[in-house]
């Protein structure tokens, strides 16, 4: 399987058909995003390897150029010393370096094109992943709204009516209990009021007796009243 086949399959799939086949659409959407993230990670690794290969070739090319120049200088040095044998050996080394350089240049060009292409593909995958994440939240919200709408429609069509009937019946029982409690409170209130009247009557008589006794003690009662009290 090629590096990008999986991500291509994900984006080419018919989302509606996939959602119809799964029990939990939200879970499926999350799984799809996870697969896209894995594809982005694999592509990122491939880009890193391509860049590393390109840099390695650049170093080899630079070394081949350096070696070519060094062997040419050594050949010149040997000629100056009248050592043609050493000059020939140095020129042979120079020729090898030139061939290496000639071989490495087109390879480096191809490696650079490959790394640039992988960078573009990575940028495209990242853009698609960002779009998928944005659409994921929207699709999940739509899925949740659809579930709620379906549940409401089921209730309105009579499914779950028994529960509403029981609820109404239970509310009626509570109202009956509240009415009975109110009646008992009213009866209890009438008895309490009657008892309070008798308590007030007894309390009033006691207060009058205490008032007369206090006046007598203070000499505020007339003599006739005092004799009557005696």
* CATH number for position 90: 1.10.287
Question: Do 122 and 72 share a domain, yes or no?
Answer: yes
229 domain residue, yes or no? no
Question: Do 59 and 111 share a domain, yes or no?
Answer: yes
Average per-residue pLDDT for the chain: 78
Report yes or no: 47 and 118 within 8 Å, Cβ to Cβ.
yes
C-alpha–C-alpha distance, residues 19 and 22, integer Å: 5
230 domain residue, yes or no? no
Which positions ≥6 away from 35 have C-beta within 8 Å?
Answer: 6, 7, 10
pLDDT of residue 203 exceeding 70, the answer is no
Structure confidence at residue 159 (pLDDT): 54
Question: Do 34 and 98 share a domain, yes or no?
Answer: yes
Q: What is the pTM of this model?
A: 0.48
Please count the structural domains in the chain.
Answer: 2
Question: Do 64 and 132 share a domain, yes or no?
Answer: yes
Q: 198: which 2 tokens? A: 């008798």
Domain end position, chosen among 138, 159, 180: 159
Question: Do 134 and 190 share a domain, yes or no?
Answer: no
Question: Do 71 and 137 share a domain, yes or no?
Answer: yes
pLDDT tens per residue across span 64-76: 999 999 999 999 9
Nearest to 120 by CA among 43, 207, 227: 43
Question: Do 27 and 134 share a domain, yes or no?
Answer: yes
Question: Do 12 and 87 share a domain, yes or no?
Answer: yes
Q: Identify the weakest region by mean pLDDT among 28-42, 58-72, 143-157, 214-228.
A: 214-228
Q: 114: which 2 tokens? A: 């490959």
More confident residue, 57 or 12: 57
Domain end position, chosen among 107, 139, 159: 159
Question: Do 194 and 217 share a domain, yes or no?
Answer: yes
CA 17 from centre of chain: 26
H or E segment at 143?
A: helix 84-156
Segment 136-150 mean pLDDT: 78
CA 162 from centre of chain: 38
Question: Do 79 and 139 share a domain, yes or no?
Answer: yes
pLDDT of residue 98 exceeding 90, the answer is yes
Range of the domain at 207: 168-224
134 domain residue, yes or no? yes
Most confidently predicted of 58-62, 133-137, 189-193, 198-202 = 58-62
Which positions ≥6 away from 143 have C-beta within 8 Å?
Answer: 19, 25, 26, 29
Domain end position, chosen among 159, 181, 211: 159
């Amino acid at each position: 399987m090629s590096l990008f086949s999986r991500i291509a399959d994900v984006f080419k799939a018919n989302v509606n058909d996939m959602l119809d086949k799964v029990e939990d659409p939200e879970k499926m959407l999350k799984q799809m995003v996870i697969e896209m993230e894995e594809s982005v990670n694999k592509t990122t690794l491939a880009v890193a390897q391509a860049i590393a290969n390109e840099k390695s070739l650049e170093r080899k090319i630079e070394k081949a150029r350096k070696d070519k120049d060094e062997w040419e200088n050594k050949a010149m040095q040997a000629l100056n010393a009248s050592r043609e044998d050493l000059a020939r050996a140095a020129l042979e080394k120079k020729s090898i370096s030139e061939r290496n350089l000639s071989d490495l240049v087109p390879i480096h060009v191809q490696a650079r094109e490959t790394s640039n292409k992988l960078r573009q593909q990575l940028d495209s995958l990242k853009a698609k992943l960002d779009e998928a994440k944005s659409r994921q939240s929207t699709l999940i919200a739509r899925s949740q709204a659809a579930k709620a709408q379906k549940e409401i429609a089921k209730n309105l069509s009579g499914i779950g009516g028994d529960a509403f009937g029981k609820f109404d019946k239970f509310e009626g029982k509570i109202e009956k209990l509240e009415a009975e409690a109110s009646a008992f409170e009213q009866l209890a209130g009438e008895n309490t009021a009657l008892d309070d009247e008798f308590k007030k009557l007894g309390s009033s008589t006691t207060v009058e007796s205490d008032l007369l006794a206090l006046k007598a003690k203070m000499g505020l009662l007339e003599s006739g009243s005092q004799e009557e009290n005696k």
